[in-house]
Amino acid sequence: MLSYTLRRLAFAVPTVLVISLIVFLLLDMAPGDPTASLPLTIPLEVREQIRISLGLGEPVLVRYFKWLQMTLFTEPMHILAGLTGWNIAPEGPRILSWQTRSPVGDIIVQRVPQTLWVVGMGYLFGIMIALPIGVISAYRQYSWFDQVGTFVSMVGFSVPTFFTGVVFILVFSVWLGWFPSMYDTTHVVRDWNSFVFQVKQIAMPVAVLALYNASQISRFMRASMLDNLNQDYVRTARAKGLGEKAVVLVHVLRNSMIPVVTVIAIGIPTVFTGAIITEQIFRVNGLGDALIRAIYVSDWPMVQTITFIFAVLIVLFNLIADVLYGILDPRIRYD
């Protein structure tokens, strides 16, 4: 198992490098112009100077290697230095965002907590809702609970978050006035009242995301439970005289969880990619928001770096999912 994990890790390195090259070149060839979003009152000669000052004058390979070196070494060191207070930040240039002219790493550090809070909670609540629903739906297949559950998850899965988000805002902030429609990113939790406010302001985006995630995962859970409920070992367990509770929650659930855990693990990178649309609707300043705004204004260093981080996370969590699979299911051993 260990050698398998190490082998996979070793394979991940060239994968990530190839991805980095593709991401960089694709964006480099994209036809956007970072000065296109400036007002037309700025003359073309000045635009050309701005482009040169952004470093666009150098050959593409030189820029790629500089960027790679900074993404893999300089920026992580700066982030680590910022988090720990150690004096390890290397000297020299950093990846600068074209729109803010400030280091990309700093912006990412500012954005990650909001994404983790809002999107992470949405994912967590989604899982917490989905698992019981999936179990009950499968156990009582075709009951009214199953039918309602199926209907809700179909709605949750097929109605896009930009629709549910706006409906939530309309109902809960405009009509009822319960929750703020905008996320206050400067809010600090100090005492009970400010904690209540924090709960209020993340309630709606979390609810929207939880609904979406729950509908997806509950379907997986239900299908996986159904597969197992008809197995011979279940009949044996019942014949032995085990109670229904023990049969379902101990035997069936544990076996059904194997594929579901994999699905959940593979889904974790989406927590980081942030729910781009949901973040924008509720004005949550997460990573997804940073990414989409950078795309709008052709801020390629920002887009390249964030996309690359996502790529690394996806590779990593796929690996984790595979390893978990082996640990959970003793029948599957890779070596």
Partner 1 sequence: MKTRIALLGTAAAIMLAPAAAMAERERGSSGHLNVIYWQAVSTMNPYLSGGTKEMNAASIVLEPLARFDHMGELAPWLVDEIPTLENGGVSEDLKSITWRLSEGLLWSDGTPVTSADVVFSYEYCTHPEGGCSYRDRFAGIERVEAVDDLTVTVHFEDVTPNPYLPFVGAGSVVIQKAQFENCMGARAPECTDANFAPIGTGPYVVSNFRPNDVIEFTANENYRVPTQPYFATITWAGGGDATGAARAVFQTGEMDYAWNLQLAPEVIEQMEAAGRGTLLVDFGPLMERIELNFTDPSPDLPDDERGTRLHPHPILSDIRVREALSLAIDRELLTEIGYGPAGKPTCNFIVAPPAMASPNNDACLTVDKDRARELLDEAGWEVGSDGIRVKDGKRLELLFQTSTNAVRQDFQALIQQDWREIGVDTRLRNIDAGVFFGSDPGSPDTYLKFWADVQMYASLFEGTDPTPHLEQRRCGREPKPETQWQGQNINRYCNPEYDALWAELSREPNPERRQELVIALNDMFVQDFAHLPLVARGRVSAAANTVGGIILNVWDSEHWNQAEWYRIEE
Q: Compare residues 127 and 302 and give the one whose CB is closer to partner 1.
A: 302
Q: What is the largest CA-CA distance in the chain?
A: 85
User: CA–CA distance from 188 to each of 184, 197, 204 (Å)?
Assistant: 9, 10, 18
Which pair of structure tokens corresponds to residue 317? 């969590």
Pair 251, 233: CB distance under 8 Å = yes
Residues 6+ away with beta carbon under 8 Å from 297: 34, 36, 37, 98, 99
Q: Compare residues 38 and 148 and give the one whose CB is closer to partner 1.
A: 38
Q: Compare residues 2 and 29 and give the one whose CB is closer to partner 1.
A: 29
Pair 111, 290: CB distance under 8 Å = yes
Distance of CA 254 to the CA centre of its chain: 26
Q: Compare residues 46 and 332 and give the one whose CB is closer to partner 1.
A: 46
Work out how close the CB of 170 gets to partner 1 at its nearest, in angstroms, rounded to a whole number: 9
End-to-end, the C-alpha distance of the chain in Å comes to 6
- % helix / strand / coil in the chain, to the nearest 5? 75, 0, 25
Work out how close the CB of 294 gets to partner 1 at its nearest, in angstroms, rounded to a whole number: 8
Work out how close the CB of 117 gets to partner 1 at its nearest, in angstroms, rounded to a whole number: 15
Work out how close the CB of 74 gets to partner 1 at its nearest, in angstroms, rounded to a whole number: 13
Residues that bind partner 1 (CB under 8 A): 31-33, 35-54, 96-97, 99-103, 106-107, 110, 169, 173-174, 177, 180-182, 184-186, 280-283, 285, 289-290, 293, 296-298
Q: Compare residues 85 and 177 and give the one whose CB is closer to partner 1.
A: 177
Work out how close the CB of 275 gets to partner 1 at its nearest, in angstroms, rounded to a whole number: 14
